[in-house]
Amino acid sequence: MASFKILFSDYFNIDKSVLDLYGALNLCLSSDLPLFVDPFLLFASKKQEYKLLHKNIVEHLVILKNIAVENGTTAGKNNLFKFREIKQNWLGMSKYGNEGKGLGAKFAKNVVEAFNGFYNSFGNEVITEESHIEKLTILNSGVGKDFISDFTTNLILEYLLSYTEEFALKYLEPNQIKEFNIRCVFDEKLKVWLPKKFKLPFFYLEGNGDFIILTPIDILTKDDSIINNNEFFSNFKSVANSIDNHSLRESINQYFRSQLPKKPKKDDVNYAIKKTSLLFPEIIDYYIRLKEENKEAATKLSKEKIQEILDELIDSLTPLCDYLLKHSDFYSIVPTNSYDESLKRVMFLKSVIEDNDGYRIFYNDGKAISKEDTIQRIFRLTWYATPFDVNAEVNNGRGPADYKVSFGGEDSTIVEFKLGKSSSLTRNLENQTNIYKKASKSANDIKVILCYTEGDIKSVNRALTRLNLLNQENIVIIDAAPKRSASTVKGQKKHTILPFNNLPLAKMTKS
């Protein structure tokens, strides 16, 4: 049976340490990792090539600002304001595959309006050490984290391609490399993007596969960028009080207080913050300056976040997949229908976790990884090499469902994951999947509930009893609590994993 090759190192038959020494992220080639290139890490780095990249990004944004100011709202139709998602770096929020939306007409409209309004002074800052593109996200709700990620990656694409080419030529076999002609060089005089040829790793086992881009791990972050809207709003008062200009500080605080009702709610506070920032835009620069002054701490925190996601996803998922491959026929089953197939895989995952020490993948240094995202990604990997269509985070107008598994237009099943300790579990069990089913016209649904403690299990069972859902086949509780070693339990047999088709299911066809 072929090896399960979801990591870059496995796919190209190289040792993981080679990537570590080169400084590149070991990509997951089955789904995006929830990581992002953060331009602040380029600014904060001691590497001169990173500092130059940050400078080039700002200069390009100034070019766009000048075009926006010169042409007004019509500039939004200019393709220079639109950027495709660079899917070949396998970074982002897609739980399956690497397809994304990129930055299209909506982004172009928002950024042109920003440059002709509040952000007209971009590139001429005097309070901060440098200009930062993240400034565009602080008050502009239409320009967010996706902008930072996609824009930055597009503007440093030539560097990333060169970085990847250097690795490929040094460490990969000739048959694993192919030449690609990629638009990545901006001609400032002509104002066009020009192509350049690179020899890159590609999906050689699939024949005429797409290329792959490696990313240095020290420019990646998780969740929000280091300079971000949420933190600015949360720390507004402390930022205002840190301003060394006494007159400005007092004016900001006085105006902010004047915008608040007697008993302000969160929305009232946020409204007052925005109003104050529009009147005193310097406060945004003071917030950014605080980030600049504490760049070493921000860089350290980013590294910790990256290690966390690698521990949770890479180091946890791959052993499970290898285990399934070596000890079962899990990846070579004969297709039936979407409901049976989904239930089989959920039950097999339950067996691995409960009976074969698979629970360990949900713990890091003895602490539970309390995130639905982890089990969602693990479930997607159980559909490796399947003829079924498995779409993650399907949104059909009623909010996203975790997965929709389908085989043709008339056969589909919604699969949703929840933590047993979730405060919204009861409400979710009662309403949410029925809404998804109606929107998707799906006849079937499966709920998977991950529990870390006996208390979680009892709580879930009480909720199911109240809703008359106890012992329903399509509601599967997985006990991820740590288990005692079988050898330490008197008279207890050591668990062995059951063949996939012999799992102890109540029944395999939904009534």
91-110 pLDDT tens trace: 875 444 444 455 667 777 77
- Nearest Cα to Cα of residue 28 among 80, 94, 118: 94
Mean pLDDT, residues 47-72: 91
Note whether residue 239 is domain-resident: no
Note whether residue 201 is domain-resident: yes
Residue 236 φ/ψ, nearest 5 degrees: -55, -45
Domain count within the chain: 2
Note whether residue 204 is domain-resident: yes
**What rounded mean pLDDT belongs to the chain?**
78
Using CA atoms, how far apart are residues 137 and 126, in angstroms rounded to an integer?
19
Q: ∠ at Cα 467 (462, 468), nearest 5°?
A: 95
Do residue 203 and residue 339 come from a single domain? Answer: no
Do residue 368 and residue 488 come from a single domain? Answer: yes
Note whether residue 160 is domain-resident: yes
What pLDDT sits at residue 298? 79
pLDDT at residue 312 tops 70? no
Q: Which of 298, 319, 345 is the last residue of a domain?
A: 298
Do residue 491 and residue 385 come from a single domain? Answer: yes
Q: Which domain holds residue 485?
A: 328-502
Handedness of CA 177, 178, 179, 183 (dihedral sign): negative
pLDDT at residue 488 tops 50? no
Q: Are strands 475-479 and 444-451 parallel, antiparallel or unpaired?
A: parallel
Do residue 228 and residue 343 come from a single domain? Answer: no
pLDDT at residue 4 tops 70? no
Binned at pLDDT 50, 70 and 90, residue 30 comes out as confident
Do residue 352 and residue 480 come from a single domain? Answer: yes
Note whether residue 103 is domain-resident: yes
Binned at pLDDT 50, 70 and 90, residue 357 comes out as low
Using CA atoms, how far apart are residues 154 and 281, in angstroms rounded to an integer?
28
pLDDT at residue 441 tops 80? no
pLDDT at residue 289 tops 90? yes
What pLDDT sits at residue 361? 63
What pLDDT sits at residue 367? 67
Question: Is the whole-model pTM more than 0.75?
Answer: no
What pLDDT sits at residue 499? 41
Q: 151-180 in b/e burial notation, b at 16+ Cβ within 10 A?
A: bbbbbbbbbbbebbbebbeebbeeebbbeb
Using CA atoms, how far apart are residues 440 and 137, in angstroms rounded to an integer?
34
What pLDDT sits at residue 58? 92
Continuous segment of H or E residues that includes residue 479: strand 475-479
Specify the amino acid at residue 358: G
**Under 8 Å between Cβ of 178 and 197:** no
What pLDDT sits at residue 150? 81
In this prediction, what percent of the chain has a pLDDT beyond 70? 72
Note whether residue 310 is domain-resident: no
* pLDDT digit string, tens, across residues 221-234: 876 788 888 889 99
Do residue 74 and residue 190 come from a single domain? Answer: yes
Q: Which of 298, 315, 346 is the last residue of a domain?
A: 298
pLDDT at residue 432 tops 60? no
Do residue 337 and residue 205 come from a single domain? Answer: no
Note whether residue 250 is domain-resident: no
**Under 8 Å between Cβ of 153 and 89:** yes
What pLDDT sits at residue 96? 40
Q: Which of 258, 278, 298 is the last residue of a domain?
A: 298
pLDDT at residue 435 tops 90? no
**Under 8 Å between Cβ of 414 and 401:** yes
CA 163 to chain centre: 23
Note whether residue 323 is domain-resident: no
